Amino acid sequence: MPRDVDPRQRLADIAAATIRVARSEGTHAVTIRSVARELGGSTTLVTNYLPSRAALILNALDQGRDRWQQELAATLADLEPSAHLRAVTDWALSSTTDDPVLRTLILEIVANAAIEPVMAEALRHESTTFEAQLRTAAAASGFADPEAVADLAYLLIRGAYIASTEDPERWTDAHVREVIHSTIAAQPRA
């Protein structure tokens, strides 16, 4: 008799294995076969839930996004609105154990969006959601032109993902935050 498997737990396990493979071997090594091997099972263990490499990567990012959204909501609940953009920026730049790996998976989506329609759609959705969060936070923080400040923050944060991947010794979390915070703080307030 087959044993019952909780699909949410299985997807979480697959996401964790995907992150482990990406951390130890690089994002290029994330395949159905490598993730199944990491889980100690056959490829069917993965393909019963996720049919493609794109789905593997998106599943890992979905798991990370859910955690990130909970962290952000808890952070913003305790702050004055004027501090929201700084908090959203810090949250977007945070580097817990899995965050750098998840950012490299985001870059993998960017690199493959032109040939993977599901990745392109996920990228558009995530970008639109993040831009809306930045606009809301910039408006709450009292900037004279919240839309322009949100656009600036978006470009700085996304650029930081690339820069910190290219040269992590130079673009440390502290240095990235300093550059972004000082640039945003220089924008006029209402």
Q: Does residue 190 lie in a domain region?
A: no
The list of the chain residues with pLDDT below 70 reads 1-2, 95
Range of the domain at 163: 7-185
pTM over 0.75, yes/no: yes
d(CA 100, CA 58): 15
The pLDDT of residue 186 is 98
The pLDDT of residue 1 is 47
Q: Does residue 107 lie in a domain region?
A: yes
Q: Does residue 89 lie in a domain region?
A: yes
- CATH no. for residue 178? 1.10.357.10
How many domains, in total, are found in the chain? 1
The pLDDT of residue 2 is 55
The pLDDT of residue 7 is 93
Q: What tens digit of pLDDT does each residue of 126-162 get?
A: 999 999 999 999 999 999 999 999 999 999 999 999 9
